[in-house]
Amino acid sequence: MKKLMLGLGTALVVLSMSLPAMAATTYKYQVKGESAYANFEQSDRCNTTGVYVSAADSVTKVSGAPTPQKQAYLYYWKQNFCTGVYSEGYGSSNDFTSTLNKQLDSANLTGTFTITDPFTGTTKNTDVNINWTGTGDISRGNTRYHYQGAGYSSKYRSIGSDRQANVSGSVTVDGTNIVAGLTGYGGLNSSTSASLEITRR
């Protein structure tokens, strides 16, 4: 019996030494930055108008040196229920000036957008100048999770702060400020997040 046990033990050692090591692939992603959004709306018996503007300024790191990124987005629509006339336009830009900050006290977005009419495909330039002023308390949050499975694991963590903001300024289309007289509201955000994924094969 002792000889049999010794033989089995030796065979297991040899077998374990012959198995190839599992290769691991690691993916890391990190992003931190600030963002702001503004909504302008107004409705009456015949008309409804809405304008949405957002801007983000962040730094992303996947591998190597961090990569600065910034993006602004604009969307508007106007509808006259009495005449049936409807128009809208949308566009984005990464060529703008902003003063987003971690303190969430104020921000500004200034730039020229090329917006597209989705019905006709025509484009036009739109000048945007929006100001945010933080109001009320800052809300802070912390999110994290961890998943472990067969041959795969992932971790994620996000820390962020949000604050409501008063908004003002102009969005000029065809020489007309389309947010003039509209009710506006908005928000400011600062966040940092990171994720780690490991796959074993």
The whole domain housing 128 covers: 23-200
User: In whole numbers, what is the pLDDT of the chain averaged over residues?
Assistant: 88
Count of the separate structural domains present in the chain: 1
**Confidence (pLDDT) at 1:** 43
Q: Give a yes or no: residue 72 inside a domain.
A: yes
Q: Give a yes or no: residue 167 inside a domain.
A: yes
Q: Give a yes or no: residue 153 inside a domain.
A: yes
Cα separation of 47 and 85, whole Å?
10
Judge contact between 32 and 193, C-beta under 8 A. yes
Q: Give a yes or no: residue 159 inside a domain.
A: yes
- The amino acid sitting at 182 is L
pLDDT tens digits, 131-158: 999 999 999 999 999 999 988 999 999 9
% of the chain with per-residue pLDDT over 70: 89
pLDDT tens digits, 80-115: 999 999 999 999 999 899 999 999 999 999 999 999
Q: Give a yes or no: residue 89 inside a domain.
A: yes
Q: CA 25 from chain center: how many Å? A: 26
Judge contact between 6 and 32, C-beta under 8 A. no
Q: Give a yes or no: residue 143 inside a domain.
A: yes
Burial class (CB in 10 A: 0-12, 13-18, 19+), 181: exposed
Its pTM stands at 0.79
